[in-house]
Amino acid sequence: SQQGEEDPQALSIQEGENATMNCSYKTSINNLQWYRQNSGRGLVHLILIRSNEREKHSGRLRVTLDTSKKSSSLLITASRAADTASYFCATVHTGFQKLVFGTGTRLLVSP
């Protein structure tokens, strides 16, 4: 299976703290994307990182990619209660033209 796995499955922090979520995958990729989903709603694209990139930033988000370890991390700095959501990594594997979503991390940020 190409499906990635996020770690941890659930994360509970206080406002102002940083949140780190990890994604591991099994076969080589062309790019990796992170999405956010509020409860029962659609997914929202956050950031895309290509296989030849190692780090990208977008506002309070920082994504790293280590293709040698087949892993990526999403860091949310100075978290807010509004960041409470599920976060998914999705991979585009070499030779395939589709996104494969992981199982997600549920983040709860308490005021």
H-type helices in the chain, by residue range?
none
CB 89 within 8 A of CB 31: no
Is 25 near other proteins (CB under 8 A)?
no
Smallest separation, CB 104 to other proteins (Å): 8
Q: Which of 45, 54, 57, 80 binds other proteins (CB under 8 A)?
A: 45
Region at 96 (left for phi over 0; alpha for psi -120 to 50; beta for the rest): beta
Which of 24, 30, 77, 84 binds other proteins (CB under 8 A)? It is 30
Task: Report residue 81: phi and psi, to 5°.
Answer: -55, -35
> Contact residues for other proteins (CB under 8 A)?
3, 30-31, 33, 35, 40-45, 48, 50-52, 88, 92, 94, 97-104
